[in-house]
Amino acid sequence: MVKTVIAVLLPLLLILSLAFPVSAQPASSAWPMFRHDARHTGLSTFGGPNVPTLSWSYTTADSVWSSVAFGSGGEVYVGSMDNCFYAFTPAGALSWSYVTGGEIESSLAVGSDGTVYTGSGDHRFYAFKSDGMLSWSFLADDIIASSPVIGSDGTIYVGSKDNWLRAFTPAGERMWGRGKTHDLYSSPAIIPDGPICLGTDAGIITACDPADGLTSWSYATGSAVYSSPAIATNGRVYIGSENNCLYALRSTGKLTWSYRTEGAIWSSPAILSGAGCYFGSNDHRLYSLNPKGTLDWSYRTGAAIDISSPALGSGGRVYVGSQDNRLYAIKSNGKLAWSYETAGHVYASPSLGSDGRIYFGSNDNRVYCLGPTPTPTSTPTRTATPVPPEPTATPPIDLTADKTEYGTTGAISVTADVWPLTVPCYPFVRIVMADGSTLYYQSGVGFTASPVPYLGFEAGTILTAEPIRDYLALSASFSGIATGTYILEGGAVDMTQTTSASNLVYFGTVDREALKVR
């Protein structure tokens, strides 16, 4: 009888497994979502550079608060306050971008199937395929600044400023939505084999049943909670509050201890298993607490540690950004290892790659990738060797403006380095205006809204095997233009693939430089 039942069940189970494939899980990458994992530990299995060297950076049109996430193939994803979502190769070349209708504060989460999830200020939650095509989106009633988390079964959870916590399948079906006490900026984290936990603007730390979103327990701090929880393997919840306190709660919601600083805690904590937690405060300090809630050490930065949340490297170093424009690397004993200065506040939380590099954004509108300092090698005996040709750069058109800030009346001059174009191309220069319109520039003609005939430095196709240096690509006077951010773009249209003005296919990527008019 038993053999008969097994013989019947095995084919049935096989059919069911084919009909209902296993749900997508988080991407198998070095940092697939905000705070690294579903428990938001901020703990990486990889280390950062001992001495930072700039590997690459990319300029967007506004501040970068979003945290970088990686795809399974090393793809680099990040959002910007310029309303755009960006995808890069590990070498820093732009793969694609997508313009939403609002600022992107939300960090990203990447599924094992390559789908990328993020929220926007246009009230939408987006799911993109790995090639940049929109898979699906959901319209909420307010902005989505909370960062999504992906559960082990593939369910995606995200909060919104409309007070709702929602759960979606990877296909975009809304499983449930539950209104909470107030706006949800905090990103949900998942207690192992337990509820989803997050904070609210009303000062409530809440835990919800993953099956239906109903409240399992709640704890009141008395002040807004923008920090996201970090959850230990035993279910202990660490989270900060605007009342200057860091809380440690049991998996049942009971208080274990709290620690008071001299400033609001918007930073999300990072945790080591059985070894306490690390977090930043607006009192200009990075804190290390042991599991009993007492201070191990603190490190003072030059300004507040705002929403930047620490990342823990495998070597014990702690990385965090500050309003003093710096990213800090602090040793496990609380001593400074190094700091790296940008030209703006560092609100973004750093992410660690599998290649020993660290990635973060800044209010100077840039995404940074810092790598290890190259190991010096012995100097070989000099011999006469041919000079190799210069490699093709990406993008093929490298623009340099005479300055980055202008008045409402003046002149602009832009030079370009044109790298080898191995197919017939029309090089172009264009400016995305402050109002979102685009003007193309052609030498001797000026600006026009039409890309036909793919207006370039000169009308005509270029095919070159040698670099062209310092080409005067744009020289024009202007008067009375609007203040704001303008994006200078340069690139080349591949004429072997372009079929019409509405189907421009580019050779390589497009260089983008942000210009300010004040």
State pLDDT tens for residues 327-355. 999 999 999 999 999 999 999 999 999 99
Nearest to 70 by CA among 34, 119, 123, 21: 34
Give percent helix, percent strand, percent coil of the chain, each to the nearest 5: 5, 40, 55
Find out whether 186 and 198 touch, Cβ atoms under 8 Å.
Answer: yes
Give the pLDDT score at 444. Answer: 66
Find out whether 327 and 339 touch, Cβ atoms under 8 Å.
Answer: yes
High-pLDDT (> 70) share of the chain, %: 88
pLDDT band at 274 (very low <50, low <70, confident <90, very high): low
pLDDT band at 508 (very low <50, low <70, confident <90, very high): confident
Give the pLDDT score at 273. Answer: 74
pLDDT band at 398 (very low <50, low <70, confident <90, very high): confident
Find out whether 180 and 200 touch, Cβ atoms under 8 Å.
Answer: yes
Peptide bond into 32 cis (omega under 30): no
Distance, in Å, from the CA atom of 43 to the CA atom of 311, rounded to the nearest integer, reads: 6
**Who's near 462: CB < 8 A, 6+ residues apart?**
418, 421, 424, 425, 426, 427, 456, 492
For residue 112 the two structure tokens come to 């094992």
For residue 496 the two structure tokens come to 């072997």
Give the pLDDT score at 5. Answer: 32
Number of H helices, E strands in the chain: 1, 42
Nearest to 221 by CA among 239, 209, 207: 239
Give the pLDDT score at 19. Answer: 34
Give the pLDDT score at 384. Answer: 41
Distance, in Å, from the CA atom of 237 to the CA atom of 199, rounded to the nearest integer, reads: 11
Q: What CA–CA distances, in Å, run from 308 to 42, 72, 269, 383?
A: 12, 25, 10, 50
What is the residue-wise DSSP string for 362-431? -TTSEEEEEEEPPPP-PPPPP---PPPPPPPPSSSEEEEES-SEE-SSEEEEEEEEE--EEEEEEEEEEE
Give the pLDDT score at 440. Answer: 81
State pLDDT tens for residues 443-473. 667 777 776 544 455 556 778 777 777 778 8
Higher pLDDT, 250 or 377: 250
Find out whether 215 and 207 touch, Cβ atoms under 8 Å.
Answer: yes
State pLDDT tens for residues 302-313. 999 999 999 999
Residue 445 CB neighbour total at 10 angstroms: 11
For the cut 60, the answer to whether the pLDDT of residue 33 exceeds it is yes
Nearest to 226 by CA among 269, 258, 262, 190: 269
Give the pLDDT score at 174. Answer: 96
For residues 386-412, one letter each, b for 16 or more C-beta atoms within 10 angstroms of the residue's C-beta and e for the rest, the string is eeeeeeebbbbbbbebeeeebeeeeeb
Distance, in Å, from the CA atom of 514 to the CA atom of 59, rounded to the nearest integer, reads: 7
pLDDT band at 24 (very low <50, low <70, confident <90, very high): low
pLDDT band at 7 (very low <50, low <70, confident <90, very high): very low
State pLDDT tens for residues 289-303. 999 999 999 999 999
pLDDT band at 91 (very low <50, low <70, confident <90, very high): very high
Find out whether 244 and 260 touch, Cβ atoms under 8 Å.
Answer: yes
Find out whether 330 and 296 touch, Cβ atoms under 8 Å.
Answer: no
Residue 181 CB neighbour total at 10 angstroms: 15
What is the average pLDDT score of the chain?
86
> Would you say how long the chain is, in residues?
518
Across the range 356-371, mean pLDDT stands at: 96
Q: pTM of this prediction?
A: 0.70
Phi, psi of 318 (to 5 degrees): -115, 130
**Who's near 383: CB < 8 A, 6+ residues apart?**
none
Give the pLDDT score at 296. Answer: 94
Across the range 160-165, mean pLDDT stands at: 92
Peptide bond into 395 cis (omega under 30): yes
Give the pLDDT score at 437. Answer: 86
State pLDDT tens for residues 103-122. 999 999 999 999 999 999 99
Across the range 379-385, mean pLDDT stands at: 40
Distance, in Å, from the CA atom of 436 to the CA atom of 350, rounded to the nearest integer, reads: 30
